[in-house]
């Protein structure tokens, strides 16, 4: 199923980001960022506030064009294609603040996302997540009446319903309690093992990053400061000085 959905059988990159830069006028948000995510892999992107992480997601998903560089999915060039075209091809993003049809019910939101995905597998594809997040009793509630944590979980289900090949998760754990954060873990494990998705996670919760990401990339002032296994990268003095000191202070 994984190879069928991702179109890859060779273990190569599903998402390839090649030397992309983004500028707004004179502001260089990031420069020369490159990485690849194979099917079933998870890359964590961390860095201080304003480092360019959300803008990186916005560029990959087609909300913004890069100034320079290419974005490829399954070897196909996605660069400069609009959001709706990129999402139809399988690059799906989640938002820090969940993006739902606010006055529609939870069930209707999920049904719309499933319809968007075309002839997909339907409700069965999201049933395990509804179960995992204990959302069944709320299916007929208006989505904006859900508690914050469940709204975030609904956002993850909607991203999954869109039949992603690559998921870009923007701070999925922000504002969640510990129990809810563990549901983010369950979600990521589900999409990588059951769907073979490649996943990019932007996150400030370093425990979650350590648990879920075999590789991380550190952005600092728009440049790649470090990339590698969390144990190596998070021990580096330049990474601690640029970022982790701040996170620890915020956590204290």
Q: Which residues bind ligand ATP (CB under 6 A)?
A: 24, 27, 29, 47, 49-55
Residue 74 Cβ vs ligand ATP, minimum distance, rounded to whole Å? 26
Q: Which is nearer to ligand ATP, 60 or 195 (CB)?
A: 60
Residue 27 Cβ vs ligand ATP, minimum distance, rounded to whole Å? 6
DSSP notation for 118-165: -SS-GGGGTHHHHHHTT-GGGTTSBGGGS-HHHHHHHHHHHHHHT--S
Q: Which is nearer to ligand ATP, 29 or 213 (CB)?
A: 29
CB 196 within 8 A of CB 3: yes
Which residues make Cβ contacts (< 8 Å) with residue 249, sequence separation at least 6?
A: none
CB 74 within 8 A of CB 8: yes
Query: Tokens 């979650």 label which residue?
Result: 208
Give the CA radius of gyration of the chain: 18
Residue 98 Cβ vs ligand ATP, minimum distance, rounded to whole Å? 16
CA angle, residues 112, 1, 78, in degrees to nearest 5: 65
Q: Which is nearer to ligand ATP, 52 or 230 (CB)?
A: 52
Residue 208 Cβ vs ligand ATP, minimum distance, rounded to whole Å? 15
Identify which of 138, 146, 134, 136 has the alpha carbon closest to the alpha carbon of residue 186. Answer: 134
Q: Which is nearer to ligand ATP, 25 or 137 (CB)?
A: 25
Q: How far apart are CA 73 and CA 107, in angstroms?
A: 30
CB 153 within 8 A of CB 180: yes
Residue 223 Cβ vs ligand ATP, minimum distance, rounded to whole Å? 12
Residue 25 Cβ vs ligand ATP, minimum distance, rounded to whole Å? 8
φ, ψ at 186 (rounded to 5°) = -60, -40
φ, ψ at 223 (rounded to 5°) = -125, 155
Residue 243 Cβ vs ligand ATP, minimum distance, rounded to whole Å? 10
Q: Which is nearer to ligand ATP, 131 or 238 (CB)?
A: 238
Q: How far apart are CA 121 and CA 163, in angstroms?
A: 9
Which of the 8 DSSP states describes residue 54?
Answer: H
Q: Which is nearer to ligand ATP, 75 or 175 (CB)?
A: 175
Q: Which is nearer to ligand ATP, 34 or 96 (CB)?
A: 96
């Amino acid at each position: 199923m994984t190879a069928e959905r991702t179109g890859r059988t060779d273990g190569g990159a599903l998402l390839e980001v090649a030397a992309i830069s983004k500028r707004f006028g004179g502001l260089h948000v990031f420069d020369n960022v490159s990485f690849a995510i194979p099917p079933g892999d998870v890359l964590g992107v961390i860095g201080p506030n304003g480092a360019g992480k959300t803008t990186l997601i916005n560029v990959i998903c087609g909300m913004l064009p890069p100034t320079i560089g290419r974005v490829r999915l399954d070897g196909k060039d996605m660069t400069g294609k609009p959001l709706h075209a990129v999402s139809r091809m399988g690059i799906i993003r989640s938002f820090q603040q969940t993006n739902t049809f606010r006055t529609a019910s939870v069930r209707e939101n999920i049904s719309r996302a499933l319809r968007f995905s075309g002839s997909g597998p339907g409700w069965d594809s999201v049933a395990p997540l509804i179960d995992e997040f204990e959302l069944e009793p709320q299916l007929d509630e208006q989505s904006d009446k859900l508690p914050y944590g469940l709204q975030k979980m609904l956002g993850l289900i909607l991203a999954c319903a869109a039949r992603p090949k690559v998921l870009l998760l923007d701070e999925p754990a922000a504002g969640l309690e510990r129990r809810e954060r563990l549901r983010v873990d369950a979600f990521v494990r589900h999409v990588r093992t059951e769907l073979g998705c490649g996943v990019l996670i932007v996150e400030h919760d370093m425990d979650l990053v350590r648990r879920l990401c075999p590789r991380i990339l550190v952005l600092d002032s728009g440049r790649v400061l470090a990339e590698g296994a969390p144990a190596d990268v998070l021990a580096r003095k330049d990474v601690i000085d640029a970022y982790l000191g701040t996170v620890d202070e915020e956590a204290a």
